[in-house]
Amino acid sequence: MSDILEAGKHRRFSLASHINAMHRALTAQELADLVNMKKVTILRRAKRGAIPCFHIGGAVRFDSSAIAKWLMQQGVQSLAPR
């Protein structure tokens, strides 16, 4: 069981590191592709305030460093589509 938890933990941190290294704002589609979720799920969670985001006009964007921090604070289970 410990190996499974460690494997999940390692994957979560490497994803967060990868996103943090982007140093740019992400679109909903880009974030959805990275975390293997549907775009509509990302947008719904952003609207509820469950995912850190900002708006430029009518567009929703996601700061890569804020998303990396958010991912590290979340468990893998909380990223599963609901």
Mean pLDDT by 10 residues, the chain (82 residues): 45 71 91 93 96 94 92 62 46
CATH topology of domain 2-79: Arc Repressor Mutant, subunit A (1.10.10)
CB 81 within 8 A of CB 37: yes
Instruction: Give the model's pLDDT for residue 75.
Output: 66
Burial 34-45 (b: 16+ CB within 10 A, else e): bbebeeebbbeb
pTM: 0.72
Q: Where are the domains of the chain?
A: 2-79
Instruction: Give the model's pLDDT for residue 9.
Output: 53
